[in-house]
Amino acid sequence: PTRAPQAAQDRALPAAPPTRITIPAVGIGSPISRAGLRPDGSLQPPHPPHQDEAAWYTGSATPGQPGAAVIEGHLDSTSGPSVFYRLGRLRPGDTIQVSRADRTTAVFIVDTVRRFPKNAFPTRAVYADTPHPSLRLVTCGGPFDDRTGHYRDNTIVFAHLTAAHTAPP
C-alpha cells in the first residue's frame, strides 16, 4: 500500500543506520536501537534497557534506501504508555522524520495506517523489497488478551520517502 513516486526513487539515500525517529503529528520522539530476529524467526521486540525506544530491524533497508525499512516499538508496558502508544492516531499525509548516522534526515509521508490480527500478519507487505524507499512502523494494537498477556492485533504504518536533508557540520 505504498506509492512509488519517481521523485522518491531519485532521492534514494545510501545505507546509514537510523538514530532517531520524530513524528510531530502525534508527539513521538525517540532514539532508535537495533532489533534482530528471535530463534523462531520472529522479530525481537525492544527489550531493557531500550524497551521504551523504537527499534530498527537490521534485516531491513536503512530508512531512505530503496526497500522497506522496518521500525518497531511497544504500545505500552506494565509501567504505562510506550514509544508507539499514539501510532494508531497517524493519518495519511502526516510526516515521519528519521535521523540517520550520516547526519541526513529522511522524511516520509504516511500513506495508510492499518490494523491486522496477529494471526494474519501481512509479512510480505511489511518486509518485501520495494523499488523505492519506504517505511513500515509496527506496534501492537486491538484488544488485549489477558489469557496470553499480548495484544491480538498489530498496527502498521505504511509510508514513502518524500525528502531528505543533511544537518550542517
CATH number at residue 87: 2.40.260.10
Q: Judge residue 162's burial from the number of C-beta atoms within 10 Å of its C-beta, 0-12 exposed, 13-18 middle, 19 or more buried.
A: middle
Give residue-wise pLDDT tens across range 25-58: 999 999 999 999 888 888 888 888 888 999 999 9
Domain membership flag for residue 52:
yes
Domain membership flag for residue 149:
yes
Domain membership flag for residue 42:
no
**pLDDT, position 49:** 81
Domain membership flag for residue 5:
no
**pLDDT, position 10:** 61
Domain membership flag for residue 8:
no
The pTM of this model reads: 0.91
Give residue-wise pLDDT tens across range 81-104: 999 999 999 999 999 999 999 999
Q: Are 17 and 56 in contact (CB under 8 A)?
A: yes
Domain membership flag for residue 6:
no
- Residue 100, C-alpha cell as written in the block: 540517520
Domain membership flag for residue 134:
yes
Give the structural domain span for 117.
16-34+48-166
Number of domains making up the chain: 1
Instruction: Examine the pLDDT at 4 and tell me if it is beyond 50.
Output: no
